[in-house]
Structure 1
Amino acid sequence: MSEAALIERIAARGDGVTADGRHVAGGVPGDRLAADGTLMPGPNRAEPVCRHFGKCGGCQLQHVAEAALADFVRDRVVGALEGQQVAAGEVLPALLSPPASRRRAALTALKIGKQVALGFNAAQSNQVVDMRMCPLLVPELFALVAPIRSLLATIAPQRRPVKVKLQMLDQGAEVVLEGVRAEGLDAAMALQDFAAEHRLARLAIDQGDGLETLWQPEPPTVHFGKIGVEVPPFAFLQATATGQAALVESVRSAIGEAGAVADLFAGVGTFALSVAEGRKVYAAEGARDAIAALTGAANRARALVATEHRDLFRRPLVPAELDRFGAVILDPPRAGAEEQVKQLAASAVPVIAYVSCNPASFARDAKLLVAGGYALDRVQPVGQFRWSTHVELAARFSR
């Protein structure tokens, strides 16, 4: 009888992997795979905390114990760097966001007859898993799920998906509905009543011809450091407050006392405003509504933040511009920032703080920076999408 194969690691999509490369759905490091395909549980398994686990696509790793989950997040970063043959001075232990801390989510609703299903999609499917519990979302957002389900029973179209975007702001929850038809006085009043009853910070809908804000008692804000930003509807924010804090602290530590700092792909100012106190910051962003929000916040606070609406994919900063700065913060989309990184590699910038939501594109960009003479000093893996295979990080490069 052949010996059972040990599951050694978790692959990027969540399967367990044996030493000989076999992928095993639901496998966890320490489990053993018998010759007949039976999975024998090891010491790193956990009891899933959600009744929807295994069907809902929101989580892939609830069956993984905390220590092994942290190892998976760190190993994703290490594996990506090894794949590009990039050496890191130090890869720190992963920081995981706790349960019930996700402050933004995009759900789907589907009305069939009188019934409305509302939740995340099933894994690799368009089927909507009707959310009756969620250990991911902050309680304030989950408390809105049932009321929104009831609201959509009256305004959602039949058999056509509706996007439901939820986000916590300083003033409370924001709800954005896309793909609804709110025609007539009754529908308008129902939406107003819903927003008032649940003390929403903002309610906006898109009926097919652009987003329309129906409820906003005061301009909704998010604070970065001491500066409040009046954010546009469903502006991009880090998924959890703890994840944001970990990334901001890593960036602060990376740039140290650098005088003038550039924040590239600045969004609404998560990093630019968090490090602005006592120093000059240049912030560039391609999304017009995001950079307008950042500009307004910096002006109101009289912060020394100069902003520019700039497409950094088509018009990256060149070395003559970059060399003015003591440090550069880089927080690109999932695809990375290859064109901007090529310019950085040719620059004399002393320090780069690189924040990434994709270890693969980060490792590719890191290879370019190292080839240009930078050292990758350290990497902080961050798992703010708890129980998912989505991994983020903050890194420091220097020359």
Structure 2
Amino acid sequence: MPVSEGTIVRIAARGEGVTGDGRHAPLAAPGDVLMADGTVQAGPHHAVPPCRHFPRCGGCQLQHVDDAAYADYLTGRIVGALAGQGLAVPEMRPPHLSPPRTRRRASLRAERIGRRVVIGFNEAQSHRIVDMQECHILRPELFALVAPLRALLGSMMKDRRQATVTMTLADQGVDLALEGVVVEGLAAQEALTDFAATHRLARLAIDEGYGSEARWEPEPITIRLDSVPVGLPPGAFLQATEDGEVALRTAALEAVGDAETVADLFAGLGTFALPLSARARVLAVEGARDPALALRVAVQRGQRPVAVEHRDLFRRPLSTDELNRFEAIVIDPPRAGAKEQAPALATAAARTIAYVSCNPATFARDAKILIEGGWRIDWIQPIGQFRWSTHIELAARLTR
């Protein structure tokens, strides 16, 4: 059958296959054929999903495609975002894919239904929870807590009530946060303590509606960034996989090159500032108070040449004059991008910008502002650390 009629030629933004003549087919991979009756005939890039919960579980959207097709999807989304802004496509490096079972942080939903507690990701486009019996994206240390949590929450949750379970793997073990549960009475308090001790949690925090409160933290909890232990505030941002963090860091350091003065914008806990400080003086700017404080304490203890500034770059972006003090700039904004900071970046005197993004659309929007200011994109490194999902990250180098 000709490609223009029924062969799947690409994967759309939400994960469905698209034929050459523009028809969409759920769970189709490039090379599949959409038949006249609506069924899909598997092609060379159609893979057998490893998880029993696929495709109901909203944690993954693309387990039905092989790595080659998944890598092409990542690249295609970035290329499409650039095209949407009328930008030329630079060198596109081969995508880096994080292996299965490497996700070190996750937010799950829990609900009590009668005597049973279900825990897992929501179904796609639904509030229904898929009760997780296996998971091919979570680190084993995180998945191992799912079954014991059912028993713990069964004694704390009322029927038809939901809660949020957030898990992060830190240096000392799992940082577990429960939101939406009410701990009443001595027995419930003792159950929490026993659970934390039995499973050797690094921290157990409860949010009963008034903010997070640590109920168990035998020692200060940290995450090592470039061998420096940084305090991990509750809910602080951390790259989803250590593998993806290394890939992003490697690309950003390559982009910065031998610059001796670097500004790290939206610095978080120091994912880039700390490794950069091994060869440069760094200004780390972060809008969230607790991560900024944690990074400040870490660099003081580690004697790193990093100055930390707590500053909201959406409301008070750095000016061109402030940016002109630096030879290179690293920027890693949230999904909304850095529209407010981009105009000053476009006129800054730095010779290199390393732009790390978790949203190709806002990256392309900001890149257009920079290019109109005289910058060019040298290369883009796509990174798929959210394995089998439609979430895409990238690192890019821009120079004049």
Matched, 1:319 2:315: no
Q: 1:220 matched to which residue of 2? A: 221
**Structure 1: which amino acid aligns with 2:233?**
P
Deviation per CA, 1:165-217, whole angstroms, max 9, x where unpaired? 00100111110000100011111100000000000011000011111101111
Gaps of 5+ in 2: none
Gaps of 5+ in 1: none
Matched, 1:303 2:337: no
Deviation per CA, 1:236-283, whole angstroms, max 9, x where unpaired? 100001100000000000001101100000111111112111321001
**Structure 2: which amino acid aligns with 1:95?**
H
* CA positional deviation for 1:18: 1.2
Distance 2:329 2:159 in 1: 49
Residue correspondence of structure 1 range 104-253 to structure 2 within 5 A: 104-253=105-254
Q: 1:345 matched to which residue of 2? A: 346
**Structure 2: which amino acid aligns with 1:303?**
R
Maintained 8 Å contact 1:156/1:180: yes
Deviation per CA, 1:346-385, whole angstroms, max 9, x where unpaired? 2221100000000111011111111110010000000000
Q: Which runs of 4+ in 1 moved over 4 A?
A: 1-4
Q: 1:284 matched to which residue of 2? A: 285
Determine helix, strand or coil for the equivalent of 2:128: coil
Determine helix, strand or coil for the equivalent of 2:340: helix
Distance 1:284 1:158 in 2: 45
Size of the alignment, in residue pairs?
Answer: 399
Determine helix, strand or coil for the equivalent of 2:290: helix
Determine helix, strand or coil for the equivalent of 1:352: strand
Task: Provide the TM-score with structure 2 as the length reference.
Answer: 0.98
Q: 2:104 matched to which residue of 1? A: 103
Maintained 8 Å contact 1:166/1:234: no
**Structure 1: which amino acid aligns with 2:106?**
A
Distance 2:123 2:257 in 1: 44
Between 1:378-387 and 1:276-285, the stretch displaced more is 276-285
Q: 2:386 matched to which residue of 1? A: 385
**Structure 1: which amino acid aligns with 2:127?**
N
* CA positional deviation for 1:157: 2.9
Maintained 8 Å contact 2:202/2:221: yes
Distance 2:158 2:357 in 1: 38
Q: 1:37 matched to which residue of 2? A: 38
Maintained 8 Å contact 1:16/1:27: yes
Distance 1:165 1:387 in 2: 20
Deviation per CA, 1:62-120, whole angstroms, max 9, x where unpaired? 00011111111111111111221212431101100000100000000001221100000
**Structure 2: which amino acid aligns with 1:66?**
D
Matched, 1:15 2:16: yes
Between 1:154-163 and 1:388-397, the stretch displaced more is 154-163
Distance 1:383 1:180 in 2: 33
Distance 2:291 2:398 in 1: 27
* CA positional deviation for 1:226: 2.1
Distance 1:262 1:65 in 2: 39
Maintained 8 Å contact 1:155/1:180: yes
Maintained 8 Å contact 1:5/1:19: yes
Q: 1:398 matched to which residue of 2? A: 399
Deviation per CA, 1:262-310, whole angstroms, max 9, x where unpaired? 0000111111112111321001111111101111111111111101110
Maintained 8 Å contact 1:203/1:213: yes
Task: Provide the TM-score with structure 1 as the length reference.
Answer: 0.98
Distance 2:363 2:280 in 1: 27
**Structure 2: which amino acid aligns with 1:32?**
V
Aligned CA RMSD, in angstroms, stands at 1.2
Q: 1:84 matched to which residue of 2? A: 85
Between 1:271-280 and 1:256-265, the stretch displaced more is 271-280
* CA positional deviation for 1:54: 1.1
Determine helix, strand or coil for the equivalent of 2:258: coil
Distance 2:13 2:151 in 1: 37
Distance 1:13 1:374 in 2: 31
**Structure 2: which amino acid aligns with 1:275?**
L
Distance 1:138 1:85 in 2: 40
Maintained 8 Å contact 1:4/1:32: no
Maintained 8 Å contact 1:14/1:389: yes
Distance 1:36 1:23 in 2: 13
* CA positional deviation for 1:36: 2.5
* CA positional deviation for 1:4: 4.9
Distance 2:138 2:35 in 1: 37
Maintained 8 Å contact 2:5/2:21: no
Between 1:85-94 and 1:375-384, the stretch displaced more is 85-94
Determine helix, strand or coil for the equivalent of 1:81: helix
* CA positional deviation for 1:161: 1.3
**Structure 1: which amino acid aligns with 2:39?**
T
